[in-house]
């Protein structure tokens, strides 16, 4: 039986001002920026949670954290977000230069709960921009490496030029992460080099990874269809559905479980998600137009 989380506090409904301190263009339409609190930082975020980011005068959107910062007092003095410009608000945020103010509300939702995977192998499967919310899982596992077994990272992208964090992927390989990457369509990468790696669906990387379902916990993020097919494949290999965690994407409006805009069956995704076990998500993800 799923225990629903409690609504966020009123304090989390009030935006606080952060400023862009660094900005990196990852792909043609994707940027990673770091935010620093101007005065009062938000409470600390957990990996997998999201913030409502405000482009002042335009609107706000939910964006998961791609990097965490803590000033040692349990406050989020610095945050990292990776976002793709797909609408008016994300285009405005994408264009924000260093020094620009951005409103932040949060933290919202459930986290990946990496600590509960202690003593097990970690399997991370990311599709496209879905690698961004999973980046803190990789960093967290590497920061406390002795607590976990294998760290397997399987990544899918539409094209080599749209692959996120290529330099970090190389560094993670050097740090002992088992990284495999595939693309839907070959072509030049971000540096203009021809692609010589795998081509196909990310699920094709599961079998060569030789996963141990009895000792693994999986974290999956990407488009809905990619998550469903990947989670089904992991379960078919023997991984219990409750040890397959997915991050549900819905259009959150209030972030504090008041408006009901993100309802998905019995869940309010801003409160009971975005991260849920596949034992909960499987039936919901199979209902068309839910």
Residues 51 and 180 in one domain: no
Tell me if 3 is assigned to some domain. Answer: no
Mean pLDDT for the stretch of residues 36-64:
93
CA neighbours within 13 Å on the CB side: how many for 277?
A: 15
Residues 60 and 170 in one domain: no
pLDDT computed for residue 71 by the predictor: 52
pLDDT reading at 73 higher than 70: no
pLDDT reading at 231 higher than 60: yes
Q: What percent of the chain has pLDDT over 70?
A: 93
CA separation for the pair 258, 236 (Å, rounded): 37
Q: From 108, 136, 155, give the residue that closes a domain.
A: 108
Residues 56 and 144 in one domain: no
Split into its structural domains, the chain has a count of: 2
Q: Which of 4, 98, 104 shows the shortest CA–CA distance to 45? A: 104
SS3 19: strand
Residues 101 and 184 in one domain: no
pLDDT computed for residue 188 by the predictor: 85
pLDDT computed for residue 14 by the predictor: 80
Tell me if 290 is assigned to some domain. Answer: no
Residues 164 and 124 in one domain: yes
Residues 241 and 120 in one domain: yes
Q: Which of 288, 281, 172, 175 shows the shortest CA–CA distance to 234? A: 281
Say if residues 64 and 80 touch (Cβ distance below 8 Å): no
Residues 16 and 62 in one domain: yes
Residues 99 and 71 in one domain: yes
Mean pLDDT for the stretch of residues 203-222:
96
Confidence class for position 1, pLDDT limits 50, 70, 90: very low
Residues 239 and 125 in one domain: yes
**This prediction's pTM:** 0.92
Span 131-186, pLDDT tens digits:
999 999 999 999 999 999 999 999 999 999 999 999 999 999 999 999 999 999 99
Mean pLDDT for the stretch of residues 64-82:
81
Mean pLDDT for the stretch of residues 80-101:
96
Mean pLDDT for the stretch of residues 268-273:
92
Residues 145 and 269 in one domain: yes
Residue span of the structural domain in which 231 resides: 114-285
Chain mean pLDDT for the chain: 91
CA neighbours within 13 Å on the CB side: how many for 128?
A: 14
Neighbouring-strand partners of residue 19: 36, 101
Q: From 56, 87, 108, give the residue that closes a domain.
A: 108
Mean pLDDT for the stretch of residues 87-111:
96
Span 145-154, pLDDT tens digits:
999 999 999 9
Q: From 65, 84, 108, give the residue that closes a domain.
A: 108
pLDDT computed for residue 137 by the predictor: 97
């Amino acid at each position: 039986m799923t225990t629903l989380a409690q609504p966020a506090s009123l304090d989390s409904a009030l935006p606080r001002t952060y400023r862009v301190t660094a900005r990196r263009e990852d792909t043609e339409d994707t940027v990673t920026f770091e935010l620093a609190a101007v005065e009062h930082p938000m409470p600390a975020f957990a990996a997998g949670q999201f913030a409502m980011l405000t482009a002042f005068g335009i609107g706000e959107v939910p964006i998961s954290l791609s990097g965490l910062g803590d000033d040692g007092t349990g406050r989020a003095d610095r945050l990292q977000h990776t976002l793709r410009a797909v609408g008016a608000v994300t285009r405005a945020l994408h264009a924000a230069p260093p020094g620009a103010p951005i409103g932040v509300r949060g933290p919202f939702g459930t986290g990946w709960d990496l600590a509960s995977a202690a003593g097990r192998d970690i399997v991370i499967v990311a599709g496209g921009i879905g690698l961004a919310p999973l980046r803190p899982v990789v960093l967290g596992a590497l920061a406390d490496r002795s607590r976990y077994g294998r760290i397997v990272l399987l990544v899918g992208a539409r094209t080599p030029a749209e692959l996120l964090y290529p330099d970090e992927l190389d560094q993670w390989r050097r740090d002992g992460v088992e990284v495999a990457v595939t693309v839907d369509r070959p072509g030049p990468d971000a540096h203009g080099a021809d692609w010589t790696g795998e081509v196909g669906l990310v699920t094709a990387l599961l079998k060569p990874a030789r996963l141990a379902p009895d000792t693994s916990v999986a974290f999956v993020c990407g488009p809905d269809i990619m998550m469903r097919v990947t989670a089904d494949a992991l379960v078919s290999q023997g991984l219990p559905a409750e040890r397959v965690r997915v991050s549900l994407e819905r259009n959150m409006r209030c972030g504090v479980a008041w408006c009901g805009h993100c309802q998905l069956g019995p869940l309010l995704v801003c409160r009971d998600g975005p991260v849920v076990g596949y034992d909960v998500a499987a039936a919901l993800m199979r209902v068309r137009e839910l």
